[in-house]
Amino acid sequence: MEPVKVGLLGLGTVGGGTINVLKRNRDEITRRAGREVKIVIASARNVNKKRNFSTAGISLTTDPFAVVNRTDIDVVVELIGGTELTLELVLQAIQNGKHVVTANKALIAIHGNEIFAAASNKGVMVAFEAAVAGGIPIIKALREGLAGNKIEWLAGIINGTGNFILTEMRDKGSHFADVLAQAQALGYAEADPAFDVEGIDAAHKLTILAAIAFGIPLQFEKAYTEGIASITREDVDNAAELGYRIKHLGIARHVDHGIELRVHPTLIPDRRLIANVDGVMNAVLVQGDAVGPTLYYGAGAGADPTASAVVADIVDVVRSLTADPENRVPHLAFQPDTLSDVPILSVEEITTAYYLRIHVMDKPGVLADITRCLADQSISIEAMIQKEENEESKTVPIILLTHRLQEKQMIIAIQNIEALNSVVGKVTRIRLEHLIAD
C-alpha cells in the first residue's frame, strides 16, 4: 500500500521533533497506522539553516502555500504558530481536500468553529491533540475515553512557565521578578512573557477543553483571565502555612445556570495530587459523573512530548482515511448540530472560596469592622491568621479564608473593607478551590 504523504509547515522545535519521532519509531507507527507515514515536503523561513535533525529525503521550500497546494499530499501538519497566516493556510489545505494536524492552540481557540465547519463540508479531519498540554493525551481522553460521562468540571495546570515560576517561589523563597528572569534565561519564558504569565496561553487551551467537555462552541473571548505577576512570596508562604499551594489554574465548571470559564491564581489543598505538580509539568483533573475524578499528568511542551501528540494525530488520520466521514469522532466530541448554547458566565457570577490578605492599623475594633463587612454580604470565614506587625509600615497583616460565595458578593465586600480608615492599601484576593465533587 502506498505511504501516506505528509506536508510539514514549520521546522522549529516541534517540527524537528515530529521528523525525529516519525523516523525513530517508523516501524512501530506503520504497524499501528496500517500504512507508512512519510514527510515529503516541509516549509521553513530559512531552508539553509543548520538544524540538529536530518531533513534528508524531504523537499524544502520557503513557501508554505507550496505545501498545502501540492496535489499528492494527504495530510498537512501545521506547526508555524500564530493565527493570521496559519488560518489562511489551514483553510486552503481543507479546501484542497487535505486532512490537517495542528499544535496551534490560539488558532483552534479563536478560529476553530470556522475551521471545523469548513472541514466538515469537505469531509476531512482536523486533529489538534498537541494544542493542549503537549504530550498529555487529554483531548482524546475527554473526547473518547470519557464519552460515557457528563463532565462536571475540569481544572488544569496547562502552562508550564507559570507553574515553574510559582514552584520556584515556593521552594526557594524567590520573588516573582527574579524567577521570571530565570525562566527567560532557561528558555521557559519568552522575552515578552505576557502570553504565559497573564494567562492568555492557558485560556486558549481551557477554551478548547471546555468545548469538548461540555459540547459548546469555542468561545475564547468569554474566558476570564488573570495573571500571576501580583503573587508575592508572602502569599505563597501564607498559603503553605494554611495547608495550601498556589497554582495558576484553568477552571471550567458546568453549573445550573451556565459555564464558568476562568484562568487565575488559585489556592488548592496541598494534599491534592494536582497541587504537587511542579516545575514545567502540566496536569489536568477531570470530574465525570460516572468515573469520578481522573488526573492526566505529563510534559506540557518540548520537542518530543509535543511531537508525540502530533504523530498520534497523524496515525488517527491515517486510520480514518477509508472511513465514512459521517462516522468519524466529531472535532469537539459532540455532533456539530447538537452543540449547546449554554451561556458562559461572567466572572462576577462564579462561585468559589477566597484567600484575603488585608493590612490594617493595629488598633481596637479593626477585626470587628472587617468581619462586619463580610457578614453584610453573607460571607462566612473558614480560617484566620493575624501575623506580626510589619516594622516598616506599622501595619498588621490579617489572612482570611472564606467559604464559597459568588464573586459579586466578594467584590462589594472588598470595596467596603478598603474604605475602612483602619485598612491600609488594597486587599489581596486569590480564589480558592478544594477540587472535590460538589
Render pLDDT for 140-193 as a digit per residue (tens, 0 to 9).
999 999 999 999 999 999 999 999 999 999 999 999 999 999 999 988 888 889
The 10s digit of each residue's pLDDT in 215-241 is 999 999 999 999 999 999 999 999 999
Nearest to 8 by CA among 87, 94, 83, 80: 80
pLDDT at 428: 97
pTM: 0.94
The pLDDT tens digits for 421-435 are: 999 999 999 999 999
| Residue 205 known to be catalytic | yes
Tell me whether residue 133 is exposed, middle or buried, using C-beta atoms within 10 angstroms of its C-beta: 0 to 12, 13 to 18, 19 or more: buried
Q: Tell me the pLDDT tens digit for each residue of 53-96.
A: 999 999 999 999 999 999 999 999 999 999 999 999 999 999 99
Cell of 93: 489545505
The C-alpha atoms of residue 194 and residue 210 are separated, in whole angstroms, by: 23
Whole-angstrom distance, CA of residue 3 vs CA of residue 1: 7
**Structural domains for the chain:** 4-135+303-338 (3.40.50.720), 143-299 (3.30.360.10), 350-432 (3.30.70.260)
Catalytic option among 205, 222, 247, 426: 205
* Residues facing residue 430 across a β-bridge: 355
What residues form DSSP beta bridges with 368? none
CA torsion 96-97-100-104 (nearest 10°) is 40
Per-residue pLDDT of 322-363, as tens digits, reads: 666 766 777 777 878 888 899 999 999 999 999 999 999 988
Distances 99 to 102, 314, 377 between C-alpha atoms, Å? 10, 9, 54
